[in-house]
Amino acid sequence: MTEEQKKNTEKKTDEKIVQEEKTTEEKKTEEKTEEKEKTEEKEKTEEKKEVNSGGEISMEKITSLLKDMMKGVKKYEDKNREKIKVVENPPSIEEICERLKNDEFKNVVVMCGAGISVSAGIPDFRSADGLYKQLDGFELPYPEAIFDISYFKEKPEPFFRLAKNLYPGNFVPTKTHYFFKLLEQKGILQRVFTQNIDTLERVSGLSSDKIVEAHGSFGEATCQSCGAKYDHLEFKPTILKGEVPRCTKCKTGVVKPDIVFFGEGLPEKFWDLKKKDFPKADLLIVIGTSLVVQPFSTLINDVTDECPRLLINREVVGKFSEGNIYSFLMGGGSSGGFKFGRQDNSRDLKLIGDADEGIQKLVDLCGWSEEFEEILKHRNEILKTIKKKEEEKKENTEKKENDKQEKEEEKEK
């Protein structure tokens, strides 16, 4: 074999080795790719099985999927932000009041919370000096436990100790409550959706069909064992003593006021009228609520895009957040939440301050002061009655003490 032939043979051998190495590497890469694809396919199949079989998907997986969805939403918004020509231009308070005055609104829907009853002497829940901050002596595992149905079933005593201080009859409706009555008299109130359990909407004279007590009330009660129904007057004396009322029928069950606790479903009336009222609302007033508790908090997203939304509150709440997964899910993407400060805000406005002060401003701007004062006479009559009862109670107490003292003096003689 010549030198040249020898070189050619060696070259071919080297090329063959390189080719074989390449083939081996390619095979390994292909195998890895196939293995990865099979693993991914298997994971997808497992996920489908989990969903189809009703099995649970981990929160990590759900959160990851939601984050991916929100990234897509944000990319879309960022891409289209420049296309939005609207500068923030919601109607002013004066414009809203002018339209109210001119009967342009026919279906006003109100959402309200504990903030409207603060001036009546009932504490709200989440403020610095609110109800949850006043439960230190109740030995609760956490403040919200006092309204947790699981905890109530084990230990009903703490709730009834609190209930005697919240019980209807101890408080008088506020200006805000009577404003709702004024809207009803004018024939423009569609509904009041309230989170409150104090029944002050009823006490103000508002028609029962205009009220949706989303979280129930003290008005009625139910035995937790046999389901027997009671009017609040039947168990009022027991509650005012701070004691646990027991069923007179089954003799053992605890009689619980029809307040919706954490872990219980909302009344059917809430769901039925939610579907009916919000799509036809032409003005939404949100007042005295933290908009924290769902599903109540999501109702602000159920009105049409043309419906003005007025917030009257001590602080801004329910504000739209681009990165908020729950706003996206509950509010339908970028339409969820108040759009204060956003360039695409064309309908959301706010009055920051106490509920009664905000309502008084609306009344004055609408030119309804005289009518409102007439309605408030009802409140004044209640106040007079309460004052009279307190004076009578004081006189009776003093009389008893005097009688007791006279008897003791007679014994000494």
- Active site residue ranges: 215
Report which of 253, 200, 263 is spatially closest to residue 222, judged by C-alpha positions.
253
Distance CA 142, CA 139 (A): 9
E strand residue ranges, 268-315: 283-287, 309-313
Which residue shows structure tokens 């060696």? 10
Report which of 140, 255, 121, 133 is spatially closest to residue 198, judged by C-alpha positions.
121
* Ligand-binding site membership of 112 (annotated): no
* Ligand-binding site membership of 250 (annotated): yes
* Ligand-binding site membership of 307 (annotated): no
Q: Which long-range contacts (CB under 8 A, 24 or more apart) does 221-225 make?
A: 221/245, 221/255, 221/256, 221/257, 221/258, 222/255, 222/256, 222/258, 223/247, 223/249, 223/250, 223/253, 223/254, 223/255, 223/256, 224/153, 224/253, 224/254, 224/255, 224/256, 225/250, 225/252, 225/253, 225/254
E strand residue ranges, 175-282: 189-194, 211-213, 216-223, 229-231, 255-259
* Ligand-binding site membership of 223 (annotated): yes
Q: Sign of torsion, CA 399 401 404 410?
A: negative
Residue 403 dihedral angles phi and psi, to the nearest 5°:
-60, -40
Residue 169 CA to its chain's centroid (Å): 25
Which residue shows structure tokens 């199949």? 45
Q: How close are the terminal C-alpha atoms of the chain, in Å? A: 151
> H or E segment at 350?
strand 348-352
Indicate the DSSP class of residue 325: H
Q: What is the largest CA-CA distance in the chain?
A: 152
Amino acid at 346: S
Preceding omega of 143 cis (within 30 degrees of 0): no
Q: Residues within the annotated binding site? A: 223, 226, 247, 250
Binding residues for Zn(2+): 223, 226, 247, 250
